[in-house]
Structure 1
Amino acid sequence: MSENETALPETTSPGRAPQQRRVVIVDDHAMFRSGVRHDIGPFVTIVAEAEDVPSAVDAITRTLPDVVLLDVHLPGGGGAEVIKQVHATHPDQRFLALSVSDAAEDVIGVIRAGARGYVTKSISAPELVEAVGRVAEGDAVFSPRLAGFVLDAFSGAIDLASIDEDLDRLSPREREVLRLIARGYAYKEVAKELFISIKTVETHVSSVLRKLQLSNRHQLTRWATDRKLV
């Protein structure tokens, strides 16, 4: 067991139904993992938790759960990297992305990697339990708004290659700044929202424009809008 992984007992408490779905929770925020464990623990069997890519791969390949609840943004390479590494040896392992992000590139990226579904962290506990059960049975599960991204991707309305290639150049913080600027936030508002200085916002915007080969804020907003990032 790695030092970043928390193993949990597989015994069930009184009142637990037999044949519960075995679940691994992967998220880099301990408080969020605790909340999920509290909310759905009576209805599933949580066999392990992990907080980054290496500990997640170790936990999943060791316990082989029915479903992995997987955050998109993780230290060590992100949720897509977890799926890639696990599927190299266990191609049938099922993943349900559970993320605060509803950005098109995050949804499409993790689905392309092999996740069977994607729901946001605003989902209720009963809905999450149902989603886990459906994914375990082989169904694809998406929050209603996110399903549109996937349909657009398959229809060709979103240029997947362009999204991956361009956004891979940006750091997570640059992507956050990009989305806020594209939504019409002033630099001061971005700084307040992300708890950074205005100077840092200016630096990030300059870096984004340079990496995407754009000239101004108007072009940046159009670029993000065309890719449904706002």
Structure 2
Amino acid sequence: MTEDSAVTEGRRVRVVLVDDHRMFRTGVQAEIGETERTGVEVVGEAADVDQAVTVITATRPEVVLLDVHLPGGGGVEVLRRCAPLMAAAEHPVRFLALSVSDAAEDVIGVIRGGARGYVTKTITGADLVDSVFRVQDGDAVFSPRLAGFVLDAFASTDAPPVDEDLDRLTQREREVLRLIARGYAYKEIAKQLFISVKTVESHVSAVLRKLQLSNRHELTRWATARRLV
């Protein structure tokens, strides 16, 4: 379904945006929130877990666009606390993860938590509108290749092995680690994650300290050995 067809059919969907970057929320609102054009009405925004639960409970939207990494416990915590709304017999709230991360553990985590899909922030406005309406209909929606993570995870009866070293890192530190290992410069990482270069440097220092590594070359080898790249 395209933006035009959604409006032609007279369909409307009420959406809450949950992301800790105000500029990103503003961009999404500008891209998809023109109700007469897209059929999407943004009825609330939130920047952390507590705000998200409060706004979602108060507005009861059809769809929540949910970032994976949020202050207060992340998207998985929002899903946990909103489980009764997802399970409602009438007018259930459905969640679509919208994240910069394309890491398998992030995708699997929110899908296990109850999200109906997962798309990355490289998605176009038209495709995001289409995804929102599909999730409203109860469909599962994924960016290319991410569906494979979910299929592999749910096809396996074995729990993934625990990596104590990786568990020492926060979700944001894992994102930075992955981008460093892929060869991104600090400025590129800052732009992708909507944070400052200084913050990137702080995360890298924390990762090196926690993993007892000396430089980004060792970090890249460490990440590659664990297939995190």
Aligned residues: 204
Q: Conserved in 2, the CA contact under 8 Å of 1:87 and 1:93?
A: no
1:168 deviates by 3.9
Distance 1:34 1:202, change over 3 A: closer
Q: Which residue of 2 aligns with 1:56?
A: 52
The answer as to whether partners of 1:118 and 1:142 remain within 8 angstroms in 2 is yes
The residue number in structure 1 matching 2:173 is: 174
User: Cα distance 1:157–1:142, how it changes in 2: closer, same or farther (>3 A)?
Assistant: farther
How far 1:104 moved relative to its partner?
1.2
TM superposition score normalised by structure 1: 0.75
1:94 corresponds in structure 2 to 94
- 1:10 corresponds in structure 2 to none
Q: CA deviation at 1:30?
A: 1.2
Post-superposition CA distance 1:44-82 (Å, at most 9, x none):
111111111111101111111110001111111111110
Q: Quick one: which amino acid aligns to residue 116 of structure 1?
A: R
Alignment of 1:153-172 (within 5 A): 153-156=153-156, 159-160=159-160, 162=162, 167-172=166-171
What are the superposed Cα offsets for residues 120-165 of structure 1, whole Å, 9 maximum, x if unpaired? Answer: 11111110111001100010000012112112212329854637x7
Residue 182 (structure 1) shift: 3.8
What SS does the aligned partner of 1:74 have? coil
Task: Output the TM-score relative to the length of structure 2.
Answer: 0.75
Structure 1: runs of 5+ lacking an equivalent: 1-14, 211-215
Question: Aligned in 2, Cα 1:145/1:90: closer, same or farther, shift over 3 Å?
Answer: closer
Q: Pairwise mapping of residues 44-123 of structure 1 onto structure 2 (< 5 A)? A: 44-88=40-84, 90-91=86-87, 92-123=92-123
Contact 1:191 1:201 survives alignment (8 Å) = no
The residue identity in structure 1 corresponding to 2:13 is: R
Assess, with a 3 A threshold, how the Cα gap between structure 1 residues 23 and 218 changes in structure 2: closer, same or farther.
Answer: closer
Give the letter aligned to residue 27 of structure 2: G
Equivalent of residue 25 in structure 2, options 33, 50, 57: 33
- Among the aligned pairs, what percent are the same residue? 55
Measured in 2, the distance between the counterparts of 1:136 and 1:95 equals 9
Which stretch shifts more, 36-45 or 168-177? Answer: 168-177
Q: Structure 1: how far apart are the matches of 2:102 and 2:115?
A: 15
SS at 1:139 equivalent: coil
| Map of 1:125 onto structure 2 | 125
Return the match for 2:208 from 205, 208, 213.
205
Q: Could you tell me which amino acid in structure 2 is paired with residue 58 of structure 1?
A: T
Cα pair 1:72 1:79 within 8 Å, conserved = yes
- Equivalent position SS for 2:73: coil
Distance 1:222 1:168, change over 3 A: same
